[in-house]
Amino acid sequence: MRLKFVEPLLPTLVEKPPEGDEWVHEVKFDGYRSQIVIDDDVRIFTRNGLNWTTKYRNLVGAAKRLGLDSAIIDGEIVVLNEAGLSDFAALRKAITRRQQDLYFVAFDLLHLEGHDLRDMDLEDRREILEGIIEPDSQIQFSQALPGDAKAIFELIDKAGIEGMVSKRRDSKYRSGRSTNWLKIKSYAVEEYDILGVEREMGKPAFALMADRATGKYVGSAFINSRGAIRDRLWKRVQEHAGPAPQGMKRPATQWVKPGLVGRVKHLRGEADLRHASLQDFREES
């Protein structure tokens, strides 16, 4: 029987990693969640079930070399930078120009040689998965991280990695969002151009931010209402009010002329700002 794409199990975002021996911890890779399906041929699907097999010629070849008659492998397609970290910005270029730089990091096995493994414990599925992967292949196994969860997360944060995923050792594989898998993201601090400040009575104040290189709006950052930063920023905005950027209409926003740069803490590895807060700001000289 021809195997079909399985809707993936999705981790729930939490603030802190869970403690206890019942959890296994892995690096959260910054790439494209994907699924390799092997039967009469090899197909590679996106997280949403789109067939992207033709985009991943080298990975298809690596999957064939596993020598399996049937399997469904869950993982992440990534490109690694010089530091050995997954680099999302380089991923799109690699798909079209540098297929040899693509890796499929496998972290779960849903089906193998005619057997549905989704009712097995995660730990058992991963043990089988590790056993079928060749060591020097573009398909790699996502190793568990040893040690205490808090210590692991501190090391991940310092290394500049996007975050970690914690999974219950005895969890079954169930499609959709689950609290049996938890993702904990680390934060980055970067500079963005401030476009304006959004203030409404009885609501938190936000600074609207743009990418410094492209000028594209990337989201808003919370402004601490108790800090001196808010008052200083509001004074600067009033003194240098400007027109709204083209195409942006937000009635509660006081726009500001170019030249104001904000230092923003935000979740690492997101396309736009998420869980972001303004740490400070400066005027460009």
Q: Could you give the residue numbers annotated as active site?
A: 28
Query: 3-state secondary structure string, 11-42?
Result: EEECCCCCCCCCEEEEEECCCEEEEEEECCCE
From 168, 185, 202, the end of a domain falls on 185
Are residues 103 and 80 in contact, defined by beta-carbon separation less than 8 angstroms?
yes
What is the reported pLDDT for 225? 57
205: in domain: yes
pLDDT given for residue 158 in this prediction:
85
Do 105 and 48 sit in the same domain of this protein?
yes
In a domain, 4, yes or no: no
Q: In this structure, are 137 and 204 located in the same domain?
A: no
Q: What is the mean pLDDT of residues 238-256?
A: 83
216 and 180 in a common domain: no
Which range, of 54-63, 225-234, 275-284, averages the lowest pLDDT?
Answer: 225-234
With CA atoms as reference, report the closest residue to 233 among 265, 263, 201.
263
In whole angstroms, give the CA distance from residue 264 to residue 49.
35
Per-residue confidence band for 27, with pLDDT thresholds at 50, 70 and 90: very high
Last residue within a domain, chosen from 185, 211, 233: 185
Are 164 and 246 in a shared domain?
Answer: no
Q: Which residues of 271-282 are buried (b: 16+ CB within 10 A; e: fewer)?
A: eebeebbbeebe
Q: Considering its fold, how many domains does the chain have in total?
A: 2
Q: How confident is the model at residue 204 (pLDDT cuts 50, 70, 90)?
A: confident
The predicted pLDDT at position 132 comes to: 96
Co-location of 22 and 146 in the same domain: yes
| Phi, psi (rounded to 5 degrees) for 97 | -125, -25
- Provide the domain limits for residue 197: 187-283
Average pLDDT (13-28) is: 93
Q: What is the CATH number of the domain that holds 277?
A: 2.40.50.140
**Of 161, 185, 209, the domain-final residue:** 185
Q: Give residue 69's pLDDT.
A: 96
Q: For the chain, what is the radius of gyration of the CA atoms?
A: 22
- Tell me how far apart the alpha carbons of residues 125 and 110 are, in angstroms, rounded to a whole number: 8
Q: What's the CATH number where 155 sits? A: 3.30.470.30
